Structure 1
C-alpha cells in the first residue's frame, strides 16, 4: 500500500483491491495487472466501525457516523466517475458492533458481530430489510442456509 494502516477494511471491485480506512476514510486501490497502488478520493463522511462490499459495479461503505455514533451511514463509490455519494435509504439499521458485509445475488448483507442481527440492502431498490430468521428471509431476498 502507499501508506501503512491499521483498522481498515477491504473489498474487491472490478478485479482491483480497495483498502479503506484511517484518517478521513482514505481509500487506496491496487491494480494486480499493473502491480501498482493508487490513492482515490476519500469517502465523503468520516465513519468508524465500518465495513465495505462491492455490488453491481460499485463500492459500498457502511459505518457509524462520527456525529451520531449509534446511527449508520451508507456511502457509495462509482469507479467510472471516481465519485463518492452518501446514500439516504429508508430503514438503514442502527449501530452494529464490528459490522461485516457480504454480497450475494446483487444484494449486500450486513452482519453485526455482537448480535444475531442480519440486514440486507438492495441497491437497485435503495431499501434495507431485516433478515427475520435463520432460514427465513423477507422477500425478495434469496433463501440463505446458515
Structure 2
C-alpha cells in the first residue's frame, strides 16, 4: 500500500493470494502515502500517516480504512499528530500509533484510536521516543523495539497499574550494529513463544 515508484508517491494497493501465488490490484487509497503505517483491526486494514509530497515532504495525520468486502477505502478520524516512520498496532480493540517524526518533532507522543467512537486520544508516552521502530503484541502486551537496541513494553492498566504505561525491559544482546542498520532493517518475529530479531537476514535471539 502506497510507497515510491520512480520518485513519485503512490496511492495504489495490492493483494496477494497465497492459493494462486499471485498479486492483484485493489482499490487505491484516497491519499498518496510513503512512510505510513498499517495494521489490521476488526478484519479491516487501517493505514495512517506518512507523507504525500513529491518535491517536498508533506506530513500526514489522515487515516483511512479498507473494507475487503466492499473494496473501498474510507477516511476515519485523523490522528492528533502528523507523523511518518512510525508504527501502528491493533491491541484490545483499539489502534495504537507509536513514535515517528514530523516537521517539528521526533519526540511524538503515543495515541490510540477507538473505532467505536471514531476518536483518537493521547496516552502516556514511551520511555524512549523513537522513529523507524517496530512493534508486536506478545503475551497481552505491546512490545516495542526502538533505536539503540532498546526494548520496551506497554503495560495495560490493571489493579497494580492504574494507567497504560511503557516500561524499559531489556537490551538486545548485540551492541555492534550501526544505528541506521538497526532502524531500517529491524523486524520482530514471534513464533511459538520465541522472539527473535532479524537484521538484514541475520537472526539473533534476545
Q: What's the TM-score bracket when you normalise by the shorter of the two chains?
A: 0.7 to 0.9
Q: CA deviation at 1:134?
A: 5.5
Number of equivalences: 135
Aligned twin of 1:20: 48
Equivalent residue runs for 1:54-133 within 5 Å? 54-64=90-100, 66=102, 67-69=104-106, 71-89=107-125, 92-112=126-146, 114-124=147-157, 125-132=163-170
The runs of 5 or more residues in structure 2 that have no matched partner are 1-28, 52-58, 158-162, 174-192, 196-204
Which has the higher Rg, Structure 1 or Structure 2? 2
Change (3 A) 1:68 1:2: closer
Runs of 4+ in 1 over 6 A off after TM superposition: none
Change (3 A) 1:93 1:82: same
Higher relative contact order (Cα pairs below 8 Å, separated by 6+ residues) = 1
RMSD over aligned Cα atoms = 2.2
Q: TM-score if structure 2 supplies the norm length?
A: 0.58
SS at match of 1:131: strand
